């Protein structure tokens, strides 16, 4: 009985050693295929497609000609899929790439309340030298709004699951309401289970 106990403990120790986790850095731009769910490769593909399309469309090229750098605000991408997706990350990636292009300037609508509090403090708290306080009503308004939706269609038949994603984005002139640019990016992913579920 004692010998069985020792064999059992040795087997447990061996299995725990074999199951030890190993963490390594990977290439952030490598294709990620861990699951059929929306992942980093999808985010990068959408970002690249939308930014390249917007920057090379004739109407947008006219808006940004001669270093005009129109002022844009980016509305958060709406998640219309059946899964939890961090669409703020999609929005941030697109905004960052567009800003880095040097063709646009941005207003960050997510920080309006924080800016308002800071201006209120500077102008009304009595703690800031009035000559250095930034006055209310001096900010520049956006000329264009960039917005979009991420949707999906999921179908499953037995051991096969098909997921279709579609990202749609538009650039609207806030003065006229005209759409100056629109594009879509489609992604299809398929998962098939093998006989042993691997």
Burial (CB < 10 A; 0-12, 13-18, 19+), residue 170, is middle
Q: Per-residue pLDDT tens for 63-113?
A: 999 989 999 999 989 999 888 888 888 889 999 999 999 999 999 888 888
Closest CA to 73 of 157, 125, 144: 144
Q: What tokens appear for 118 in the block?
A: 């800071």
Calpha distance 52→94 (Å, rounded): 10
pLDDT digits (tens, 9 = 90+) for 22-68: 776 656 566 556 566 676 788 888 889 999 999 999 999 999 999 89
Q: Which fold has domain 37-154+161-192?
A: Rossmann fold (3.40.50)
Name the pTM for this structure: 0.74
Q: Where are the domains of the chain?
A: 37-154+161-192
Extract the tokens encoding 18.
């074999």
Distance between CA atoms of 122 and 126, rounded to whole angstroms? 8
- What pLDDT does residue 80 have? 92
pLDDT per position as a tens digit, 160-190: 888 898 999 999 999 999 999 999 999 888 8
């Amino acid at each position: 009985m004692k010998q069985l106990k020792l064999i059992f403990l040795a087997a447990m120790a061996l299995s725990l050693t074999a199951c030890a986790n190993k963490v390594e850095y990977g290439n952030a731009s490598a294709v990620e295929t861990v699951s059929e769910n929306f992942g980093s490769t999808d985010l990068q593909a959408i970002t690249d497609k939308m930014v390249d399309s917007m920057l090379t469309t004739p109407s947008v090229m006219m808006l940004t000609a001669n270093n005009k750098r129109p002022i844009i605000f980016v509305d958060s991408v709406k998640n219309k899929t059946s899964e939890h997706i961090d669409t703020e990350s999609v929005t941030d990636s697109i905004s960052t790439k567009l800003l880095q292009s040097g063709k646009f300037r941005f207003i960050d609508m997510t920080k309006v309340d924080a800016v308002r509090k800071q201006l209120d403090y500077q102008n009304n708290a009595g703690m800031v030298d009035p000559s250095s306080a930034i006055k209310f009503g001096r900010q520049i308004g956006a000329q264009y709004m960039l917005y979009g939706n991420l949707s999906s269609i999921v179908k499953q038949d037995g051991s096969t699951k098909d997921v279709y994603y579609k990202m749609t984005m538009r650039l609207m002139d806030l003065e006229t309401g005209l759409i100056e640019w629109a594009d879509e990016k489609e992604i299809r992913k398929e998962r098939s289970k093998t006989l042993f579920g691997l």
